[in-house]
Amino acid sequence: MNPFLIATITLAALIFVVALLYSTVGHAGASGYLAAMALFSISPLVMKPTALVLNILVAVIGTVRFYRAGFFSWRTFWPFIVTSIPAAFLGGALTLPVPIYKSIVGMVLLYSSVRLFFSASRADQKQVSRAPIVAALAIGAAIGLLSGLTGVGGGIFLSPVLLIMHWARTKETSGVAVAFILVNSIAGLLGHLSSLALVPHEIIYWAPAAIIGGWIGTILGTRVLPVAGIRRWLSAVLVLAGAKLLWEATVLLLHR
């Protein structure tokens, strides 16, 4: 069999697994898609728009499912998106040098792995309160900019904030995060619409894999499902991919 086709199908299988596992916790999987593509040494110029397209597909499914299950809070959601949408649009319009891009995405993946690992056994034990408007606006802008720059929807950053600050319970966090991911991913892609031309033809294999994985994952995520083991496993994958990107960025900078 053609080695290129084998690699394409293998990556599709990884994307399916990522979409399934991430969607159970209200994420669309962008950091996981970036990790999978990094393992196959795909160009950063291709990684960003491809991750955003896959993110949007899975986030649409997740948003509908979590909303119908009653796990979405508009009151929690809106202060963050007011500033995150324009910031994600701006971030999407910026193109970073390859070493800098790989460094940022590598650090994003490592950060994500830490947050996933240490949030694995968290329980809703404390009373939640409403997020202060000014703080939510500032946090939304920061996450939105980073989302647009890296091709990550931002849920991986918003979720820990909501939970650590006790601004939402776990299931509500998932519902808010996946909707946040959807609007930021769309804004980031609109900020650099021409980058859609860089999405490879192999998306015809990867998109169905993401949709099917997201469909199954959101069914599991909106019901009673232990996520501690899943998050810890994902954190290990992200550590490997993040370290790989940081190593490649270091090599590129040293050879300049």
Are 54 and 207 within 8 A, CB to CB? yes
In this prediction, residue 229 has a pLDDT band, given cuts at 50, 70 and 90, of: low
Given a cut of 80, whether residue 204 has pLDDT beyond it is yes
Q: Which two tokens stand for residue 50?
A: 């491809």
More confident residue, 189 or 64: 64
The string of pLDDT tens digits covering residues 134-153 is 999 999 999 988 888 877 88
Q: Give the range among 25-34, 36-45, 73-82, 219-228 with minimum mean pLDDT.
A: 219-228
Q: Which two tokens stand for residue 70?
A: 């009653």
Mind giving me the DSSP string for 185-208? HHHHHHTTGGGGGGS-TTHHHHHH
Are 217 and 14 within 8 A, CB to CB? no
With a CB cutoff of 8 Å and minimum separation 6, the contacts of 47 are 33, 34, 37, 38, 105, 151
- Sign, CA dihedral 7-202-45-210, equals negative
The residue behind tokens 């996933």 is 116
* Integer Cα distance of 92 and 147 in angstroms: 8
Angle (CA) 155-160-161 rounded to 5° is 95
**For residues 13-29, average pLDDT:** 90
With a CB cutoff of 8 Å and minimum separation 6, the contacts of 28 are 19, 22, 54, 55, 56, 58, 59, 62, 153, 155, 178, 181, 182, 185, 214
**For residues 27-53, average pLDDT:** 89
**For residues 17-22, average pLDDT:** 91
Burial readout 74-110 (b: 16 or more C-beta within 10 A, e: otherwise): eebbebbbebbbbbbbbbbeeebeebebbbbbbebbb
Given a cut of 60, whether residue 212 has pLDDT beyond it is yes
Plot region of 41 (φ>0 → left; ψ -120 to 50 → alpha; else → beta): left
Given a cut of 60, whether residue 124 has pLDDT beyond it is no
Given a cut of 90, whether residue 194 has pLDDT beyond it is no
With a CB cutoff of 8 Å and minimum separation 6, the contacts of 163 are 119, 122, 170, 173
pLDDT at residue 213, as a whole number: 96
**For residues 195-206, average pLDDT:** 92
- Considering the entire predicted model, what is its pTM? 0.85
In this prediction, residue 53 has a pLDDT band, given cuts at 50, 70 and 90, of: very high
Q: Which two tokens stand for residue 109?
A: 């993946």
Are 28 and 179 within 8 A, CB to CB? no
Burial readout 1-40 (b: 16 or more C-beta within 10 A, e: otherwise): eeeeeeebeebbebbbbbbbbbbbbbbbbbbbbbbbbbbe
pLDDT at residue 122, as a whole number: 60
**For residues 212-217, average pLDDT:** 95
pLDDT at residue 138, as a whole number: 96
pLDDT at residue 147, as a whole number: 83
* Cβ atoms within 10 Å of 132's Cβ, excluding its own: 13
